[in-house]
Chains A and B, each alone.
Chain A
Amino acid sequence: DSGVTQTPKHLITATGQRVTLRCSPRSGDLSVYWYQQSLDQGLQFLIQYYNGEERAKGNILERFSAQQFPDLHSELNLSSLELGDSALYFCASSVDNNEQFFGPGTRLTVL
């Protein structure tokens, strides 16, 4: 158990819909990262937050947005969903930028 929690574990929705994925980092970790992993693909970095502020941005679509709240939990919002958005979405947290601890992931299926 990494100490990072993600909810929900599974999510099934339809094209055009909007969903919110939630992540609670390890106690004491200020950084939260979001990644997308499609079937048999590597991890695609989406975005990083540090203590409530956006720190780094990767290949995140304009339809996707994220935020980190004062209690340091983070949410990833995915809107106007397309079939190709079906993937595993991982959250990770870290104290610094050197070591990340990953949550169990949310499996999103868009039908």
Chain B
Amino acid sequence: TQLLEQSPQFLSIQEGENLTVYCNSSSVFSSLQWYRQEPGEGPVLLVTVVTGGEVKKLKRLTFQFGDARKDSSLHITAAQPGDTGLYLCAGAQYNNDMRFGAGTRLTVKP
């Protein structure tokens, strides 16, 4: 059982569509990160959220941390083929333990 559950597991959409992916847990995290990984490469950090209810925007990407710091969402507006990749969330617990979700594999078709 994953400590962090990501949904959906796979998502295939057309260019220009909006989408939201989710990262859920029953555990509380001191912080949560989102990463994007392309095939054969290491994950690249997109954002860190720390405060419950926090919203961060990165161009067309909007990240939200749940009020209770147990969950997070990533919303992409007007998706582009360059957004294709594996989106991973990772939560840091207060005991210095950090765990990754299994990821959402996004494909944006031109």
Contacts and interface: CB of A to CB of B under 8 A. Distances in A.
**Highest count of chain A CB atoms <10 Å: which of B30, B35, B88:** B35
Given A42-B100, A55-B96, A98-B31, A104 B50 contact: no
B55 interface: no
Interface string A63-90: 0000000000000000000000000101
6 contacts: A35-B100, A56-B97, A90-B43, A92-B42, A98-B48, A99-B33
B42 A97 contact: no
A98 B92 contact: yes
A103 B43 CA distance: 8
A42 B103 contact: yes
Interface residues of A, number: 24
Interface string A28-43: 0000010100000111
Contacts of B41: 104-105
B39 to A, nearest CB: 10
Interface in B42-98: 42-45, 48, 50, 88, 90, 92, 95-98
Contacts of B101: 42
B59 to A, nearest CB: 19
Contacts of A100: 33, 45, 90, 98
With most chain B CB atoms within 10 A of its CB, the pick from A4, A56, A98 is A98
B102 A101 contact: no
Contacts of B92: 97-98
A42 B102 contact: yes
B52 to A, nearest CB: 15
B50 A98 contact: yes
Nearest to B99: A45
